[in-house]
Amino acid sequence: MKNSFLFKRGKYFHLEYFDEIEGRIKRVSTKRATKSEAIKFLTKYNEKQKSKALLTPKSLYDFLTEYENFVKQNLSRKYSNNVKYTCKELRDFIENIPLKNLTSKMLEEFISIAYKRSKYSAKQNFNNLRSRFNKAISWGYIETNPFKKISIPKIPYNNPRFLNESEFRLILSNEPNELFKDIYLFAFHTGMRLSEIVSVSGIRFH
Rg of the chain over CA atoms, in angstroms? 29
Say what the pLDDT of residue 136 is.
93
Residue 166 has pLDDT above 80, yes or no: yes
Say what the pLDDT of residue 106 is.
94
> Which residues are within 8 A (CB) of 133 and not within 5 positions of it... i.e. 6 or more apart?
142, 145, 146, 147
pLDDT in tens, 53-101: 667 889 999 999 999 999 999 988 888 888 899 999 999 999 999 998 8
Give long-range contacts, CB 8 A cutoff, 24+ apart: 105-108.
Answer: 106/146, 107/146, 107/147, 107/150, 108/150
41 and 69 part of one domain: no
Q: Is residue 160 part of a domain?
A: no
Residue type, 190: T
Q: Is residue 191 part of a domain?
A: yes
Q: Is residue 175 part of a domain?
A: yes
- Average pLDDT rounded to a whole number, residues 153-177: 79
65 and 117 part of one domain: yes
Report the number of distinct structural domains present in the chain. 3
Say what the pLDDT of residue 109 is.
94
28 and 65 part of one domain: no
Q: Is residue 206 part of a domain?
A: no
Say what the pLDDT of residue 203 is.
67
187 and 119 part of one domain: no
- Reported as a pLDDT band with limits 50, 70 and 90, residue 12 is very high
pTM over 0.75: no
Beta bridge mates, 125? none
User: Where in the sequence is the domain holding 180, given as residue range(s)?
Assistant: 165-201
Q: At what angle do helices 119-138 and 77-93 cross, to 10 degrees?
A: 90
81 and 132 part of one domain: yes
Cα–Cα nearest to 198, from 179, 177, 170, 174: 179
- Reported as a pLDDT band with limits 50, 70 and 90, residue 204 is low
92 and 16 part of one domain: no
Q: Is residue 110 part of a domain?
A: yes
Q: Is residue 80 part of a domain?
A: yes
pLDDT in tens, 101-156: 899 999 999 999 989 888 888 888 899 899 999 999 999 899 889 998 898 888 77
pLDDT in tens, 28-45: 899 999 999 999 988 888
Domain finish residue from 53, 71, 88: 53
